[in-house]
Amino acid sequence: MSNNRVLVVDDEKLISWSLAAMLKKEGYQVETAASGKEALQKFECFKPELVMLDISLPDLNGLELLKRFKAANEEIYIVMMTAYANADSAVQALQDGAEDFFGKPFNLGAIKHVVNRAFEKRRLKKEVDYFRRELRKKSDHDKLIGNSQKMIEVFKMIKICADTDAKTVLITGESGTGKELVAKAIHYHSARAEAPFIEINCASIPENLLENELFGHERGAYTDASKMHKGVFEMAEGGSVFLDEIGDMPFAMQAKILKAVETKRFRRLGGQEDVEANVRIITATHQDLPAMVRNGKFRADLFFRLNVMNISLPSLRERKEDIGTLVQYFIETLNEEYGRNVLGAAPETLEHLARYEWPGNVRELRNCIERLMMLEQEKILSAGHLSSEIRECGQAEQEESPGVIRSDAAGEHIVLPASGISLEELEKLLIQLALRKSGGNQTKAARYLKTSRDTLRYRMKKFGISDGTREEEGSPYGGDDAAAGDPPCSNRLQGAEWS
């Protein structure tokens, strides 16, 4: 509380002194002023968040000061005091934005209550602003990218989970596969999107603090508990709680989580009564929970409860066709972040990326692109700066089969075979690549090829790339523009990304 600043303005020394003493005891930083002029000066340099303001000052009228303070800082709280209380001045003060109004002599306890309440309001407002900002940030930036059929299945599940509000969701997958992004996508596409999304990492909080973090405590629950404290289950009221690394949840806590999930109620530490919890619980782990259940490390009943809705994220090596799109996406976002203008990765670079196995999944790929962008001064990311681990991966295999056309794993590269390739074949390939990049949207694909949509359709027909349907088995893109080609799960899904 030591950062909360209060300015007491009163020419009666005894009043300023007793107010200042009481507020300091409460933990506030306090300054006093005995005149309007002094108050204006202190307002400038001390920058109070709350002012206790007497109406009758020797030089200026307190009501006038109130207006000036409010004009300078709309968010300031002002509590008026006067020895000559009358309805007019009280109404005027409240109309001009005072938080409260006290006649002298006043009860110090009542003032303390008003000041504490004002700062609590301020804290809550900051929290709400923070969540609003987060909400905007998340929906602007944290996009889930993927064209592969496997990711399309994930997108469909996100949609189902977002729509079925009551159920707990378990997200599984190796580290770096995007579990956190999926949790956020579920929340921000659900009816709870405007309420908080609060994340808690069960692995990083010591066991003895976890219950406090989750459920909060009552005042006096233990020696240091001077105030009631809300846990994340209460802070996320109406929204979602994301229990990350649920596999690391201590066994004893698992029973409490199960109770909260089942009854939608929980108890604060030291509490006598249950509190209702209106939250959706989303959980994630990279661990093998069924194996942990078999080994007695995770409660079977909790596992079954969490596993009702399960989203299992594929590793990056199982969906290498997404690498090209992901690389392009990371280049674009990093360009923005670092004010760069990198255009793309060289075909040879993409080949290496496609051969590598990515044990750290998408996170490792992002870090790799970031590193390349730091090291590369040119506009195309060349293979020279790749780590030796990535460069050497699958090298021998590659050398045995040189000169093939590849538009597969890395998504967007063509390697001219030694035996040559006809321009027609190349054209067909480019059309396929453009369609893949556009998520099947023909207008966008035509734009990539700097041609008209009619020309594109004509050529698709000519090459037998079917109109609005899949060209090849397992192709991730659906086909036509919005009318015919919206992916099956949602109109928000735009082929390559879930935003």
**Which one of residues 4, 32, 168, 177 is an interface residue with ligand ATP (CB under 6 A)?**
177
Residue nearest ligand ATP, CB atom distance: 178
269 has which bridge partners?
A: 217
With binding defined as CB under 6 A, does residue 247 bind ligand ATP? no
Report residue 268 as tokens. 């604060």
Interface map 259-298 toward ligand ATP (x if CB under 6 A)? ---------------------------x------------
Residue 479 partner contact from Mg ion, ligand ATP, none using kind-dependent CB cut-offs of 5 to 8 Å: none
**Minimum distance between the CB of residue 303 and Mg ion, rounded to whole angstroms?**
19
**Minimum distance between the CB of residue 159 and ligand ATP, rounded to whole angstroms?**
15
**Minimum distance between the CB of residue 323 and ligand ATP, rounded to whole angstroms?**
11
**Minimum distance between the CB of residue 146 and ligand ATP, rounded to whole angstroms?**
5
Residue 70 partner contact from Mg ion, ligand ATP, none using kind-dependent CB cut-offs of 5 to 8 Å: none
| Residue 165 near residue 279, CB atoms below 8 Å | no
Residue nearest Mg ion, CB atom distance: 180
**Closer by beta carbon to ligand ATP, 122 or else 286:** 286
Report residue 109 as tokens. 């306890």
Instruction: Return the exposure string of 83-108: e unless at least 16 CB atoms fall within 10 Å of the residue's CB, then b.
Output: eebeeebbebbeeeebbbbbeeebee
Task: Please state, in angstroms and rounded to a whole number, the distance separating the CA atoms of residues 415 and 406.
Answer: 6
**Which one of residues 366, 413, 428, 437 is an interface residue with ligand ATP (CB under 6 A)?**
366
**Closer by beta carbon to Mg ion, 42 or else 138:** 138
Residue with tokens 């009043």: 15
| Residue 354 near residue 326, CB atoms below 8 Å | no
**Which one of residues 98, 144, 162, 350 is an interface residue with ligand ATP (CB under 6 A)?**
144
Residue with tokens 């989750």: 214
With binding defined as CB under 6 A, does residue 249 bind ligand ATP? no
Residue with tokens 């992916």: 487
Give the residue from 354, 362, 352 showing the smallest Cα distance to 315: 362
**Which one of residues 363, 385, 457, 492 is an interface residue with ligand ATP (CB under 6 A)?**
363
DSSP characters for 251-312? HHHHHHHHHHHHHSEEE-BT-SSEEE---EEEEEESS-HHHHHHTTSS-HHHHHHHTTEEEE
**Minimum distance between the CB of residue 392 and ligand ATP, rounded to whole angstroms?**
24
How many angstroms separate the most distant Cα atoms in the chain? 100
Residue 173 partner contact from ligand ATP, Mg ion, none using kind-dependent CB cut-offs of 5 to 8 Å: ligand ATP
Give the residue from 347, 34, 23, 319 showing the smallest Cα distance to 155: 319
With binding defined as CB under 6 A, does residue 173 bind ligand ATP? yes
**Minimum distance between the CB of residue 142 and ligand ATP, rounded to whole angstroms?**
6
**Closer by beta carbon to Mg ion, 179 or else 428:** 179
Residue 176 partner contact from ligand ATP, Mg ion, none using kind-dependent CB cut-offs of 5 to 8 Å: ligand ATP
**Closer by beta carbon to Mg ion, 183 or else 236:** 183
**Closer by beta carbon to ligand ATP, 138 or else 355:** 138
**Closer by beta carbon to ligand ATP, 78 or else 144:** 144
| Residue 19 near residue 52, CB atoms below 8 Å | yes
With binding defined as CB under 6 A, does residue 181 bind ligand ATP? yes
Enumerate binding residues for Mg ion (CB under 5 A).
Answer: 179-180
Choose one: 49-57, 121-129, 176-184, 293-301; the region binding ligand ATP (CB under 6 A).
176-184
| Residue 228 near residue 187, CB atoms below 8 Å | no
Residue 340 partner contact from ligand ATP, Mg ion, none using kind-dependent CB cut-offs of 5 to 8 Å: none
Rg (alpha carbons) of the chain, rounded to whole number? 31
Task: Please state, in angstroms and rounded to a whole number, the distance separating the CA atoms of residues 39 and 374.
Answer: 52
**Minimum distance between the CB of residue 193 and ligand ATP, rounded to whole angstroms?**
18
Q: Which helix (H) or strand (E) holds 240?
A: strand 240-244
Report residue 15 as tokens. 């009043």
With binding defined as CB under 6 A, does residue 178 bind ligand ATP? yes
**Closer by beta carbon to ligand ATP, 168 or else 315:** 315
| Residue 76 near residue 49, CB atoms below 8 Å | yes
Give the residue from 276, 280, 200 showing the smallest Cα distance to 240: 280
**65-69: which pairs have CB atoms within 8 A and are 24 or more residues apart?**
65/9, 65/36, 65/39, 65/40, 66/93, 66/96, 66/97, 66/98, 67/96, 68/40, 69/43
With binding defined as CB under 6 A, does residue 320 bind ligand ATP? no
With binding defined as CB under 6 A, does residue 202 bind ligand ATP? no
| Residue 62 near residue 37, CB atoms below 8 Å | no
Task: Please state, in angstroms and rounded to a whole number, the distance separating the CA atoms of residues 416 and 407.
Answer: 11
With binding defined as CB under 6 A, does residue 314 bind ligand ATP? no
Which residues bind to ligand ATP, rule: CB under 6 A?
143-146, 173, 175-181, 286, 362-363, 366
